[in-house]
Chain A
Amino acid sequence: EVQLVESGGGLVQPGGSLRLSCAASGFTFSSYEMNWVRQAPGKGLEWVSYISSSGSTIYYADSVKGRFTISRDNAKNSLYLQMNSLRAEDTAVYYCARCWGLLRYYFDYWGQGTLVTVSS
């Protein structure tokens, strides 16, 4: 059974840092591209970042570029999101999502999410 389990969320002050983790199991993690998606309280879904299966290709949404860093450790079946210079508007539930599709990509499995609250 495919499982994605996020951790690392919590309360952080503006300007602070936090590192999210996503532990993957039930599939060959090193073969799949992965993403982070977030959802502010009461709002819609916002794609945050993408990383290729090898980690060599990375993309970010403009809203987090220069502040967030996505990475992965295929030996540990884990995905990470290092978040620096956090702002109040980064408050959200953060989901990791597996990316699949031969040509037309989609997110077929999602974690349960971890809440990040940026507040003083």
Chain B
Amino acid sequence: QKEVEQNSGPLSVPEGAIASLNCTYSDRGSQSFFWYRQYSGKSPELIMSIYSNGDKEDGRFTAQLNKASQYVSLLIRDSQPSDSATYLCAAQARGGADGLTFGKGTHLIIQP
């Protein structure tokens, strides 16, 4: 059974600080990893993808992948109140025809 585990939170971070979100995955066959942001009542929105070990930066977001430890993380620098949302970590096997395995999400609250 493929699983992606996340701490459900809530994770409370002061405005301007760095928010650190983590997840682990069970399937060593997973090739691709994604972070989605989901606002309450809305559908998930892709914010980062990462395919190889190391860091990938996009604006205020940095995704980190360690395949040996089966660990994925997302850092949000200079956190803003608009970053308050649920963040979903997802893993994908090669090809992706059978979809993504999602974690249950971490609820992030940025305190003004």
Pair from one complex = no
